[in-house]
Amino acid sequence: MLADEISEAEGGIREREEKKVAERMPMGKEAPNSPRASLSLRGKAQVGSPMKVKRELHPLQNRWALWFFKNDRSRAWQDNLQLVTKVDTVEDFWALYSHIQLASKLSSGCDYALFKDGIEPMWEDSRNKRGGRWLVSLAKQQRHVELDRLWLETLLCLIGESFEEHSRDVCGAVVNIRTKGDKIAVWTREAENQAGVLHIGRIYKERLGLSPKTIIGYQAHADTATKSNSLAKNKFVV
């Protein structure tokens, strides 16, 4: 069974949650037809029919699956990984986000992962094993200040296809809640695609609003799979 903090997300998305999540979308000056702007759209009442609301859904370019991991050393690693649900519209994403616990509220040892449908959040998946990850490491004190903002912005980058033509190279993202410091990572499918990886890294760093002095690194899964995170070398940095 899933942990209590995400149990409400099981069984699909409830339509009535739409009204509760409309204000969660950060509003900017994007053009109405831009991917980011479309993430805040909602259906409007039909003219002449004040008692009826036309629920207009806004499909995402890809279907995304949310996974939850809770570390239980008495079980195999894969048995600790649970699929929560899948979303393929803007409205479903925000309804899901409103149901689940914020990342900062999860227990140490837990992960959230949002991956394209059909890709499992593990190195062994055939679509991941040749790839790597852009890794953002946070200090312990950042959990209650920055973690939720950075994780939400990461999710919006994914579902909004923010990396332009290189969005097809993105597999998903993971947030790890750990006692020594939390981590957020964007996974890509091909570590040797230098141009694509760097393009994704630069846009990701900008979207997170990180200081130019802050350096984030890209690690190949082949390297991190054989070494501890502290020993894995950065293949690229931005």
* pLDDT in the model for residue 77: 82
**Positive or negative, the Cα torsion across 109, 114, 120, 124?**
negative
Tell me what the pLDDT averaged over the chain comes to: 83
Least confident of 6-20, 122-136, 204-218: 6-20
Instruction: Provide the pLDDT for residue 78.
Output: 85
pLDDT for res 44: 33
User: 36-40, 148-152, 186-190, 217-221: lowest mean pLDDT where?
Assistant: 36-40
- Selected residue with higher pLDDT from 10 and 55: 55
How confident is the model at residue 75, as a pLDDT? 86
Question: Across residues 102-121, what is the average pLDDT?
Answer: 98
Mean pLDDT, residues 139-151 taken together: 96
Report CA dihedral (85, 91, 96, 101) to the nearest 10 degrees: 160
pLDDT tier at 176, thresholds 50, 70, 90? very high
Greater confidence (27 vs 79) lies with 79
- Cβ atoms within 10 Å of 219's Cβ, excluding its own: 20
Superfamily of domain 4-237: RNA Cap, Translation Initiation Factor Eif4e (3.30.760.10)
**Would you state the pLDDT for residue 125?**
94
Residue 202 tokens, joined: 């630069």
pLDDT at res. 149: 98
User: Residue 51 — very low, low, confident or very high, per pLDDT cuts 50/70/90?
Assistant: low
Q: What is the pLDDT of residue 18?
A: 42
Q: Please tell me the distance from the alpha carbon of residue 120 to that of residue 49, in angstroms, as a whole number.
A: 45
Ranges of each domain in the chain: 4-237
Could you give the CA distance from residue 129 to residue 188 in angstroms, rounded to a whole number? Answer: 10
